[in-house]
Each structure stands twice: as C-alpha cells, then as structure tokens.
Amino acid sequence: MFELIKQKSADYKNDILSGLTVALALVPEAVAFAFVAGVDPLVGLYAAFMVGLITSVFGGRPGMISGATGALAVVMVSLVKEGNEMGLAMAQPQEDMGLYYLFVTVILMGGIQILAGVLKLGKFVRLIPHPVMMGFVNGLAIVIFLSQLGMFTEVVDGEKVFLQGNQLFIMIGLVALTMGIMFGLPKLTKKLPAALTAIVVVSAVAIFSGLDVQTVGSFIRQGGGAGLEGGLPTFQWEIFSKVPFTFETFKFIFPYALILAAIGLIESLMTLNLIDEITETRGDTNRECMAQGAANIVTGLFGGMGGCAMIGQSMININAGGYRRLAGIVAAVTLLCFILFASAYIEMVPIAALVGVMFMVVIGTFAWSSFRVIPKIPTTDAFVLILVSALTVVFDLAIAVFAGVIVSALVFAWESAKRIRARKRVKEDGTKVYEIWGPLFFGSISAFSSKFDVANDPEKIEIDFIESKVTDHSGVEAIISIVEKYEKLGKQVKLTHLSSECKQLLTKANYSYNLHAVIEDTVEDPRYHVVADHNAFV
C-alpha cells in the first residue's frame, strides 16, 4: 500500500515538474508563431493555454502537448494579410479585420475537426506506412532545428542579422551548457528534472553574471510585441459585429479552415502515434479529433490563433516522465500564470536556455536509426522516407504526408499487380482450366487479360478463382470482357470458386446479360468453402 502511494507521489511529481518545463518552452514558441502569423504575441499565448488545457483534459492521448504551431502559422499569415485587405476595402473601412477573420476561421476549423471525429476518420491514421512516420519525425526534427536558428539573430537597423563576436560565443556557450546539463544530470540522478534544472541554472548564470544575452522579454519586444503580461482571455463579441456573415465570407474562410483542420489533425494524430510507440500504449484517435476541434472552437471565440499537437513540447514532456493528463494541465495553467502574475520573471529567462532544450528535443526526436535501416529496406521505402522528410521541411506536413501515402499506395499497387498468375491445365473432358492466383484489381487487369488465348482455346473454358480475389470494378470489367470474347466465338465459359462477395460484385456490375449463367455455384472442392466463408467476413 505504502509502495503504491509512493509510486503515485513520484508520478505526480514528474507530471508537475514536466508541466513546468513545458510551460517555459511554450512561451517563445507561441510568441514566435504568433509573429509568423502576423498577430499579437498574446494571441499565440492564449491559444497555447486554451488548446493545451482542453486537449489535456478531454483529448485521446494523455501526455501529448498541444498549442500554437508553426505548421498552422504559415497558413494563417496569408489569411490574416488577405483579411486585413478585405477590411480596408469595405464600405466602412475596418482595421485589423484579418485578426477577426482568423478567429472565425479557427472556429470553422474546429467544427470540421469535430466532424472528422464524429465520422471516426481518426482511424485512418493507421493506414500511414512506417516510412512515412519516420519521414514525418525526421522532417519535424529538422524544422524544429531550423526554427531555433532564428534565435541566433538580432535586429540591427530594422533588419535581422546573425549574432557575431562575443554575443555569438556567449549564446553558443549557454546553449552548450543547457545541453550538457540535460545530457549529464540524468546520469547522476533521476530525481531532478533535467530540462527544468538546466533552464534554472542557465538563467541564474546569465542573470547573476550580468551577461548581455537575448531574453524572452527582449525577444518579444524585438518582434514588435509590448511584453508577456496580459489578462484572462475574454469572449470576442466583436467577431459577431465586425465580420459579415455572408456567403462571400464563407467562400473566403472555408478553404483556409479546411487546410488548417487537415494540417492540425495530421500533425496531432501522427504525434499521437509516435507517443503510442514510445509509451507502448494506445491513444484514442477519434476522441483526439473531437478534443482538438472543441479546443479550436473555444480558442477562436476567446481570441486565440488555434493550434494542434506540438511534437517538440510533447517529447519534452514524455522524456521528463509526464505520461498523464496532469502534465498537460499543469503546463497550460502555468503558462496562464506566467501571463497573469510572473511575466517580469519569465521575460528574464535567456533564450539560449530554451534553445538548448529544443536542440536536445531535436536530437531525441530525430530517428537516427533511419540511417542504419535505409540501406536495408526496399528502395521505394527509403525513397518515401527521404521524400516525406524533405517535403516537410520545404512545404508543410500535410503535403509531405499526403505525398508519402500516395507514393506508398502506388508502390503497393504496382507490386500487387505483378503477383497475378494463371496456371493452365486441361481436364479429361477437354475443358481448359485457368487457375488464377493473386488479387485482381485495376493494376493487374492488363496482366490478367494477357494470360488467355481466346482464339486457340478449346470449346469449354473454366476460370478458377480459388486463389484470387476480385477487389474492384476494374477487375469485374476485366472478367466480363474475357467472358464476352469467348462467347462471341461460341465458346462456353464457367467461373468457379468465386466468393459470395465476388459474385455480388459481378452480378451487380454487369448490365449486358445475366452472369449467373457462367458462374458455377455447385462446388465439391472442400477448400472453396473455407475461402468463401473467409472472404465473406473481409
């Protein structure tokens, strides 16, 4: 009993400390993504709080962290810009209309995500091949790494330039110190959270030594923000008075909402899959879809920019032992407390400490094993892995995953198409039998048709499908075409060993004559009943 209580206490401690670490790491990320989208930093911070809290409580994957993300921000920037232009073009010109169009779009995005959950579309993430998953992880690790390079810059005469001289060496030194503590501390003791300890130590070094380094506060002001301090999120009544709810507005926001919903769900569900593998547990994809949708609706109504799962922060959380919902709740609530009460202190944290944490996340996230497996896996799988990684970096996650799945599907179809075989034999009564092996579908119909010698075959033909399965309309049409060719020459054809499912496809698809006449239902082969019964449940 005491051991159980002790274990539970340790679990809660891990969740709380992990949540504090994640909250610190969320601040510059949310601010940076808000700047990318062209909105105030508090819009990103409020999104991180609301999306993070709601998905932690109601989501389908305990331990996963959600908030404002770069994948969504790069789409939002054009939405906000175009919305501002539409506002200025109104009969009564309105400034900052892009922000209110963004809120409405995020609400619609949430509705689409809830619909995806209701329709149970989340399960389709299981169809994503492993090379696509590895490419997704590697691509996002590279994206996280590249995003941190922007922290090595400063604004000079209105332009961003990379740090030089002592400032660069100090930045590199503090980043290295952070990474060193995170690497070495777990080898000495597991009782202290490595990431949080590293942030506290590096912050103390920078503050008490008086080092001239970029901090969270200077980073916010560098981007044009006033600071981290703010109040509680408030209901945005202006949405209903400023945004014209017309068909033109719907036509403008719907494509953005659809893209944002797709990107948000893909990133969230693939992050969920990744955490499932790490923790050897299973999350609920459909529940996560609905939680993400509800979170985005609430976020849009209360002035946030929307969000989805964040692989970087999720990895920080999992690596720190935050496997339960409490970790995400603590991160979200702590972030709000930073905004309300501790903004002055959080603004003192050196950016270098948070960059060091994210670099360790990159190292932990990147699938280094991919270098080892690439020479050993099929060339097409290696190509898909590299393709998804590259497209994630160059374009965005949605394009990368769709491209990877499509290429994998085409490769599978091509390989399956080559498996069609026809074994030929002649019965004692002169009937020629074609025993078909392999799946008959759109990719294999050409090879299937080439197996038959219609002109030179005898008067009686039997096509045996006991080792084959007709899977689509193209396969049905190929069978009908062969039957018609034989019957035009006055030859008799019988189709045997068809499963009940295949029979149904054939009889439904044929419109020229009754195929029941060529389908043989009386079968004495005991193997047939096993195959037929199995296919009936496929």
What string of H, E and C letters represents the secondary structure of 106-168?
HHHHHHHHHHHHHCCHHHHHHHCCHHHHHHHHHHHHHHHHHHHHHHHEEEECCEEEECCHHHH
CA atoms in the 13 A half-sphere facing the CB of 175: 19
- The region of weakest confidence among 182-191, 273-282, 516-525 is 516-525
User: Three-class SS of residue 309?
Assistant: strand
pLDDT at position 292 is 96
Residue 223 has pLDDT above 70, yes or no: no
pLDDT at position 401 is 84
Residue 2 has pLDDT above 50, yes or no: no
Could you tell me the domains of the chain? 7-90+101-409 (no CATH), 418-536 (3.30.750.24)
Q: For the chain, report the end-to-end CA distance as a whole number of angstroms.
A: 48
Contact criterion met (CB below 8 Å) for 383 and 407: yes
Beta bridge partners of 153: 162
pLDDT at position 111 is 96
Confidence of residue 512 (pLDDT cuts 50, 70, 90): low
| C-alpha distances out from residue 52 to 185, 288, 507, Å | 28, 12, 53
Q: What is the mean pLDDT of residues 468-483?
A: 84
Residue 498 has pLDDT above 90, yes or no: no
Q: Where are the alpha helices (DSSP H) in 302-378?
A: 311-319, 325-340, 343-346, 351-365, 369-373
Angle, helices 247-279/397-417, rounded to nearest 10 degrees: 70
- The region of weakest confidence among 152-161, 182-191, 268-277 is 152-161
Q: Where are the alpha helices (DSSP H) in 153-246?
A: 165-188, 194-208, 216-222, 238-242
pLDDT at position 7 is 52
Confidence of residue 1 (pLDDT cuts 50, 70, 90): very low
pLDDT at position 538 is 32
The residue type of 81 is: K
pLDDT at position 532 is 44
The residue type of 424 is: K
More confident residue, 407 or 471: 407
Q: What is the mean pLDDT of residues 92-96?
A: 79
Per-range mean pLDDT, top range of 114-118, 349-353, 510-514: 114-118
Q: Which phi and psi angles does 50 have, rounded to 5°?
A: -70, -45
Residue 102 has pLDDT above 60, yes or no: yes
pLDDT tens per residue, range 21-39: 888 888 877 877 787 777 8
What is the C-alpha to C-alpha distance for residues 457 and 459, in angstroms, rounded to an integer? 7
What is the C-alpha to C-alpha distance for residues 506 and 286, in angstroms, rounded to an integer? 35
Contact criterion met (CB below 8 Å) for 177 and 185: no
What is the C-alpha to C-alpha distance for residues 316 and 391, in angstroms, rounded to an integer? 25
Confidence of residue 256 (pLDDT cuts 50, 70, 90): very high
Residue 180 has pLDDT above 70, yes or no: yes
- 532-535 contacts, C-beta under 8 A, 24 or more apart: 532/497, 532/499, 532/500, 535/469, 535/499, 535/500, 535/501, 535/502
More confident residue, 191 or 422: 422
pLDDT tens per residue, range 343-386: 888 888 888 988 888 888 888 878 888 888 888 888 889 999 99
pLDDT at position 344 is 84
pLDDT tens per residue, range 446-473: 888 888 988 888 999 998 888 888 888 8
pLDDT at position 308 is 92
Contact criterion met (CB below 8 Å) for 36 and 294: no
Contact criterion met (CB below 8 Å) for 426 and 433: yes
pLDDT at position 524 is 55
Contact criterion met (CB below 8 Å) for 256 and 75: yes
Contact criterion met (CB below 8 Å) for 47 and 307: yes
In this structure, what token pair is assigned to residue 377?
A: 């896996």
More confident residue, 536 or 120: 120
pLDDT at position 230 is 81
Q: What is the mean pLDDT of residues 222-246?
A: 83
Confidence of residue 536 (pLDDT cuts 50, 70, 90): very low
Residue 533 has pLDDT above 50, yes or no: no
Q: Taking phi first (over 0 means left), then psi (-120 to 50 degrees means alpha), and beta for anything else, what does residue 309 get?
A: beta
Residue 515 has pLDDT above 80, yes or no: no
pLDDT tens per residue, range 45-75: 999 999 999 999 999 999 999 998 877 887 8
pLDDT at position 510 is 55
Q: What is the mean pLDDT of residues 327-343?
A: 91
Q: Taking phi first (over 0 means left), then psi (-120 to 50 degrees means alpha), and beta for anything else, what does residue 157 get?
A: left
pLDDT tens per residue, range 277-311: 888 888 899 999 999 999 999 999 999 999 999 88
